[in-house]
């Protein structure tokens, strides 16, 4: 039986339990996936206990995508996760865990379907670094809009052949044909208010609230937007495969889960 959970805080809004449990039903697999409220300081003790229990794996969301790198934890890190210093998936192997970033795998597939040349990432956290890891080698430069310089070094470690241009958070977004927004709710509202043009695609990782002010303004100015649920479903596909070991057609599972989770979110808003 699969026993898994999403860890983080705040976690009550997470749609991951719906996605994973629905996938188990589709695949005919006995499993239970839940949510557990957990902050960064309590992560080591929780994981120590989990190593002695019958867990299959965990999804990690804010603020835990960097928690797997704590030196006291016995976690084997996938090379790409190591490079971007971000883990959003833990898979149990014996009495230890393997740390993986299915965020970067999701961005690999997302970006392969888009055409772009001038890219900006808003934010500097784990999801931003996953996007940067996927972009490495695809463009000559990536622009990073961030509020502080504290994570610049970690961002630079994510790339080998693409260079970074660090910019202030209030930079004009109209100059970019791909913008990836990875910040918490409300952070980009001022950017939305200042926008007068939108070129190309916005990938917005948020799905609650939706639409964000940035995504609504982007659409109103004629740009295209990738919904936060698109990324949520995309990264979940790899987690489902890793946790269940099942083989399935990604395109079919993606279409089914995305249709159902969009309907679920719409129903929730109408209550």
pLDDT, tens digit, 9 for 90 and up, residues 55-108: 999 999 999 999 999 988 989 999 999 999 999 999 998 888 999 999 999 999
**Residues 11/63, Cβ–Cβ less than 8 Å:** no
Catalytic: 157? no
Task: Tell whether the model's pLDDT for residue 138 goes beyond 50.
Answer: yes
Mean pLDDT of all residues in 117-146? 97
Number of domains in the chain: 2
Residues 158, 212, single domain; the answer is yes
Residues 220, 109 share a domain = yes
8 & 62 share domain: yes
pLDDT at residue 74, rounded to an integer: 85
SS3 160: coil
The answer to whether the peptide bond before residue 18 is cis (omega within 30 degrees of 0) is: no
| Residues 9, 95 share a domain | yes
Choice among 3, 65, 92, 157 that is catalytic: 65
The mean pLDDT of 208-227, rounded to a whole number, is 95
Enclosing domain of residue 192: 105-226
Residues 134, 147 within the same domain: yes
168/206 same-domain check: yes
Q: What is the mean pLDDT of residues 25-52?
A: 96
Find the CATH number of the domain harbouring 39: 3.40.50.10860
Question: Can you tell me the distance from the alpha carbon of 5 to that of 232, in angstroms, rounded to the nearest whole number?
Answer: 15
**Torsion sign, CA atoms 241, 244, 249, 253:** negative
Same domain, 81 and 159: no
Q: Please indicate, yes or no, whether residues 113 and 221 belong to a single structural domain of this protein.
A: yes
Judgement on whether residues 113 and 48 belong to the same structural domain of the protein = no
pLDDT-derived band at 266 (thresholds 50, 70, 90) equals confident
When pLDDT is cut at 50, 70 and 90, the band that residue 270 belongs to is: very low
- Give percent of the chain above pLDDT 90: 92
**Segment 244-258 mean pLDDT:** 98
Average pLDDT, the chain: 95
Q: Region 153-157: what's the mean pLDDT?
A: 96
CATH number at residue 207: 3.40.50.720
In a shared domain, residues 123 and 216: yes
134, 215: one domain? yes
- If asked whether residues 92 and 183 sit together in one domain, one would say no
Nearest to 125 by CA among 180, 73, 192, 74: 180
DSSP conformation letters of 195-245: -----SEEEE---SSSS-HHHHHHHHTT-EEE-HHHHHHHHHHHHHHHHH-
- The backbone torsions φ and ψ at residue 248, rounded to the nearest 5 degrees and listed phi first, read -155, 160
């Amino acid at each position: 039986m699969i026993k898994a959970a999403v860890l983080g805080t705040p976690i009550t809004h997470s749609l991951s339990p719906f996605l994973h449990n629905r996938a188990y039903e589709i695949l005919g697999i006995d499993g239970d996936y839940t949510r557990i409220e957990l902050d960064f300081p309590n992560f080591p003790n929780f994981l120590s206990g989990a190593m002695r229990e019958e867990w299959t794996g965990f999804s990690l969301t804010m603020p835990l995508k960097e928690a797997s790198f704590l030196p006291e934890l016995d976690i084997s890190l996938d090379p790409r996760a190591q490079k971007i210093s971000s883990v959003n998936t833990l898979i149990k192997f014996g009495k230890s865990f393997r740390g993986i970033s299915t965020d970067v795998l999701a961005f690999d597939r997302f970006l392969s379907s888009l055409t772009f040349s001038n890219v900006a990432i808003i934010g500097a956290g784990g999801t931003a670094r996953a996007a940067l890891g996927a972009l490495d080698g695809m463009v000559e430069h990536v622009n990073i809009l961030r509020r502080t310089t504290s994570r610049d070094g970690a961002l630079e470690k994510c790339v080998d052949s693409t260079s970074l241009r660090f910019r202030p958070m209030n930079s004009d977004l109209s100059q970019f044909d791909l913008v990836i927004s990875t910040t918490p709710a409300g952070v980009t509202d001022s950017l939305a208010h200042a926008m007068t043009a939108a070129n190309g695609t916005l990938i917005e990782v948020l799905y609650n609230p939706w639409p964000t002010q940035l995504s609504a303004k982007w659409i109103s100015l004629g740009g295209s937007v990738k919904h936060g649920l698109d990324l949520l479903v995309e990264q979940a596909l790899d987690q489902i495969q890793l946790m269940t070991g099942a083989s399935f057609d990604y395109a079919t599972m993606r279409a089914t889960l995305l249709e159902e989770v969009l309907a679920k979110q719409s129903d929730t808003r109408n209550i």
